[in-house]
Structure 1
Amino acid sequence: MNWELVATGFYVGRIRYAPGTVGTLLGVPLAYLFGFKWWLVLLVGVSFYFLALKSVEYMIGITRERDPEEVVIDEVLGYLFCFLLVEPTLKALVLAFFLFRTLDILKPFPISLFERLPGAHGVIADDVVAGLLTGFILYIILSGG
């Protein structure tokens, strides 16, 4: 398998300007395809985590960077987890995109704790937590409560 192709989101991560933001856009069709059933998000997300783990480990090995900028598979996965609690309506997809990117960039507590995990887990887990937190916030906003 071409691990670089996977890690960079079909080389989308090689875009010079805001690769994480552009990479997050790759998560939109995935969220729409799988986001209508919470168990499907969980099943695909956990399976995808292991694929992401292998590809990120590969990229860390060849770049010797702790969190290579061209790796965007973590953003794709994190965005998918935004839809564990809410369905991917147009409103939810847009709100999730902006909220997820904000949380991913700022990395408030507890997201910052997961970024400290060793190796590829640290690259991926902070985005998963940002996605879960985004989903929780969206649930509160969209359910009116």
Structure 2
Amino acid sequence: MTVAKLLGTCCGIGYFRPAPGTWGSLAALPLTLALHLLGGFPLLAIVTLCAIVIGYWAAIEMTRGQEDLDPSEFVLDELAGQMLALWAISLPAWLHGLDITALWPGWVAGFLLFRLFDIWKPGPVGWADRRKGPFGVMMDDVIAGAMAAIGIVVLAGLSHGVPGL
């Protein structure tokens, strides 16, 4: 197995069936928790950004000369997008010294929103997905992760009351 395939499949998680993308997203949950506990939001942010860059490279390598430009076993995009979605939990927990596990509703919402946007592909997610090749492979999940993060913030605001309303 090549390094690109090892990384792109998240050490083989992409071969899990059914729904390899969901397995890739699930793998991001304990990884995000561990990164947050080890180094807070800054470590999570650095690793997420590295995963996006490495994912782009791995997507180039895994699809080189292939007809399938978005192989289902490539799940580093889901891992990176899910981690990005969870920035909306990690950042406030880190800034305010909160126990990130106490924010469990945000974890659930982040997972469900990310999977919804990744599968449904609304607006900019669909636009990125239609771009064939490594850019589309990575960016649809990055955008879905950003949208899920926004969704977490909106839901938290609704749940806890938005100041001034």
TM-score for both structures, normalised by structure 2 = 0.79
User: C-alpha distance in 2, partners of 1:102/1:141?
Assistant: 15
Amino acid at match of 1:23: G
The correspondence of residues 16-31 of structure 1 with structure 2, limited to 5 A, is: 16-31=17-32
**Which is further off, 9-18 or 81-90?**
81-90
The correspondence for 1:137, drawn from 151, 154, 157, is 151
Taking only aligned residues, the RMSD between alpha carbons, in angstroms, comes to: 1.9
Residue 86 in 1 paired to residue 89 in 2?
yes
Name the structure 2 match of 1:110: 124
Report deviation, 1:32: 1.5
C-alpha distance 46-96 of structure 1, shift in aligned 2 (>3 A): same
Specify which structure has the higher proportion of helix: 2
TM-score for both structures, normalised by structure 1 = 0.88
Report deviation, 1:93: 1.5
User: C-alpha distance in 2, partners of 1:62/1:33?
Assistant: 36
Report deviation, 1:118: 4.3
Report deviation, 1:75: 0.3
Percent identity (aligned): 28
Unmatched tracts of structure 2, length 5 or more: 91-99
Amino acid at match of 2:138: I
Larger radius of gyration: 2
Unmatched tracts of structure 1, length 5 or more: none
Report deviation, 1:63: 4.0
Residue 52 in 1 paired to residue 55 in 2?
yes
Describe the superposition over 1:61-98 as per-residue Cα deviations: whole angstroms up to 9, x where unpaired: 26431210111110000000012232353221122111
Note if contact 1:38-1:85 (Cα within 8 Å) is conserved in structure 2.
no
Amino acid at match of 1:99: L
User: C-alpha distance in 2, partners of 1:62/1:75?
Assistant: 23
